[in-house]
């Protein structure tokens, strides 16, 4: 049955990815292109290393001619591949988490569980990290800090996800102790508290150049958030619907209900 869930998770992820690509292409690319324009204008008159610093893997790559990949490719097939692979893989992992959570978090229908897991995943892996380390377009960030920024970002993801799993794990005993309403509130408060501590304790990495256009930055970050909202919302809704549909058709067979 896990294999069948996994396929459906990746299918839901792929659908989510295609819709997210439409969003990224329409609303994400314009600010990204303007950010590259700003970056190029800064690089022209500046000494190497400040605004025009790229990649930790050696020579600075210019957008457009690095490794022979053009901007046209980056913004179409590259973007589709990146968002598609990310979303599909996320869907697969989501299905595995769903298989673990199913039947262990109380009596929830597959659709309800799927939506709840997607909401929790979005909160833990997108919303909370977004507050501390928001997405940045090209032209922000220096090669000198890429190692630090990568480390703290993934560390925050790990802390946030662990805290979410802990809260979900504790929700059941807390419900038994404090009642269904207050128990869930207490579990949620625990996650919020850990998130707030993480925001406070994690180092702030300031990398925005002095004259970077604020409008471009705002639009970029908003569109980036929109892409993630689409991915998680579509994933949660489509996966739950696919599972219930298959279940009604008796396509998902487990130990308890082998009807074939």
Residues 71-110 that bind another protein (CB under 8 A): 73-75, 77-79, 81-83, 85-86, 88-90, 92-93, 96, 99-100, 102-104, 107-110
| Minimal distance, residue 28 CB to another protein, in Å | 4
Options 130, 186, 199, 209; binder of another protein; rule CB under 8 A: 130
Quick check: 227 binds another protein (CB under 8 A)? yes
Quick check: 11 binds another protein (CB under 8 A)? no
Sole residue written with tokens 């439409």: 22
Options 26, 46, 50, 55; binder of another protein; rule CB under 8 A: 55
Options 123, 143, 185, 222; binder of another protein; rule CB under 8 A: 143
Quick check: 51 binds another protein (CB under 8 A)? no
Size of the site for another protein (CB under 8 A): 80
Stretch that binds another protein, among 62-70, 171-179, 184-192, 196-204 (CB under 8 A): 62-70
Binding residues for another protein restricted to 175-214, rule: CB under 8 A: none
């Amino acid at each position: 049955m896990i294999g069948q869930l996994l396929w459906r998770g990746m299918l839901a992820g792929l659908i989510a990815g295609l819709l997210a690509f439409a969003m990224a292409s329409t609303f994400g690319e314009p600010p990204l292109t303007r950010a590259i324009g700003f970056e190029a204008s800064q690089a022209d008159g500046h000494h190497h290393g400040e605004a025009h610093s790229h990649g930790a893997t050696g020579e600075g790559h210019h957008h457009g001619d690095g490794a022979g990949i053009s901007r046209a490719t980056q913004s179409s097939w590259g973007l589709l591949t990146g968002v598609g692979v990310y979303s599909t893989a996320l869907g697969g992992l989501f299905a595995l988490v769903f298989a673990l959570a199913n039947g262990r978090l109380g009596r929830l229908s597959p659709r309800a569980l799927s939506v709840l897991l997607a909401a929790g995943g979005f909160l833990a892996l997108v919303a909370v990290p977004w507050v501390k380390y928001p997405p940045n377009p090209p032209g922000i960030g220096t090669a000198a800090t890429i190692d630090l920024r990568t480390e703290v970002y993934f560390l925050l993801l790990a802390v946030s996800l662990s805290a979410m799993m802990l809260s979900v794990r504790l929700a059941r005993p807390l419900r038994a102790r404090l009642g269904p309403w207050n128990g869930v509130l207490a579990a949620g408060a625990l996650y919020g508290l850990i998130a707030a501590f993480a925001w406070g304790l994690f180092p702030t990495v300031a990398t925005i150049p002095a004259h970077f256009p604020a409008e471009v930055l705002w639009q970029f970050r908003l569109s980036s958030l929109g892409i993630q909202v689409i991915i998680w919302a579509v994933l949660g809704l489509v996966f739950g619907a696919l599972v219930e549909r298959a279940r009604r058709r008796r396509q998902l067979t487990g130990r308890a209900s082998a009807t074939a």
